[in-house]
Amino acid sequence: MTSPVPDTPTLSRDLIALTKPRIISLLLVTTIAPMYAAGSPSWLTVLIVTIGGYLMAGGANAVNMYLDHDIDDVMARTRLRPIPSGRMSRMQVLAFGVACATFATWLLATYVNVLTGLLALAGFYFYVFIYTRWLKRTSPQNIVIGGAAGAFPPLVGWAAVTGRLDVSALCLFLIVFYWTPPHFWALALLKQVDYTRARVPMAPLVWGERETMNQMVWYTVILIVLTLMPVLIGTFGITYLISALVLNALLMFGVLRMLAAARAGTAWNGHAWWVYKYTLLYLALLFVAMAVDRAIG
């Protein structure tokens, strides 16, 4: 009996891998849900924003791999990416990333509005130059400040429908911004060996595990307050409020449980994994709740 032949990477698969589709799926949720929270977009507008948003984020991820090729080569979870594995050259990856971002800017600015295209492009530049090129290798605050790049999608979605930004859009931006540290620090706690090998100054390596967890608690507190702000200013109603309270309670429980285990000297890795995975679900459900609240409100 012959064993199955493993899948051989192809150019098309590598190009898709460069865009990091799993990461983009969450970014698209935080782009599309605000569109329905802001108004009643046409299916064509949603489709264009989805395509443009995917290409812009995918282009940023590809350029990220171009810049981080040396880091990817020494980290176990990234060693099989197209550049470190030798399947694609750095210039090929850079050209693909820039092409995606350029086409996305044209598409959004031409068929949605200029503000939408500029906001998406601003997110691209922030991720590539502020986070990847500068902060990632120099400061344990890399995730905090760099998190702004991942907070642009709600602004893109809101501007696509309203043609402007307002206080409600700012609240959505800040929610994603303050969600980022608890989410990524949970992963950083679990991947300290990789980050040490790559010489990336992630918070646990600089501040220590306990202080990183303490910071996660405080960022979670701020996040909870920010998720309630849209209710206080009248953007969302009772459906969103109940959803936010339940999601926030579970998040705080998970973070505190991890910290308690660390303080007690018991295994906290499983709790950190739970926090990391739950934060993905948390953000998706929170933004879906925004759209649902508007739809039934």
The domain limits of the chain are 12-165, 168-297
Q: Which residue in 80, 92, 83, 62 sits closest to 8, CA to CA?
A: 80
Which is it for the CA torsion 41, 44, 46, 52, positive or negative? negative
CA dist list (Å): 253 to 184, 241, 250, 259? 17, 18, 5, 10
pLDDT in tens, the chain (297 residues): 444 444 556 888 999 999 999 889 999 999 999 999 999 999 999 999 999 999 999 999 999 999 988 888 887 777 788 888 889 999 999 999 999 999 999 999 999 999 999 999 999 999 999 998 888 888 888 888 888 889 999 999 999 999 999 999 999 999 999 999 999 999 999 999 988 988 889 999 999 999 999 999 999 999 999 999 999 999 999 999 999 999 999 999 999 999 999 999 999 999 999 999 999 999 999 999 999 999 987
Return the structure tokens found at 71. 């880091």
172 CA to centre of own chain: 13
> Which CATH number is 12-165 given?
1.10.357.140
Say what the pLDDT of residue 4 is.
Answer: 47
CB 159 within 8 A of CB 169: yes
186-189 long-range contacts (CB < 8 A, ≥24 apart) are 186/216, 186/258, 186/272, 186/273, 186/275, 186/276, 186/279, 187/276, 188/143, 188/212, 189/213, 189/268, 189/269, 189/272
Return the structure tokens found at 12. 């098309």
Which is it for the CA torsion 292, 256, 23, 154, positive or negative? positive
Name residues whose C-beta falls within 8 Å of residue 200's C-beta, 6 or more positions apart in sequence: 71, 136, 137, 142
Say what the pLDDT of residue 63 is.
Answer: 95
Give exposure, 33-65, as e/b (b: 16+ Cβ within 10 Å): bbbbbbeebeeebbebbeebbbbbbbbbbbbbb
Residue length, the chain?
Answer: 297
Q: Which residue in 230, 215, 220, 236 sits closest to 282, CA to CA?
A: 220
Say what the pLDDT of residue 7 is.
Answer: 55
Q: Which residue in 204, 226, 203, 283 sits closest to 250, CA to CA?
A: 283
Q: Which helix (H) or strand (E) holds 42?
A: none
Q: Which residue in 46, 57, 147, 141 sits closest to 103, CA to CA?
A: 57
Is the pTM higher than 0.95?
no
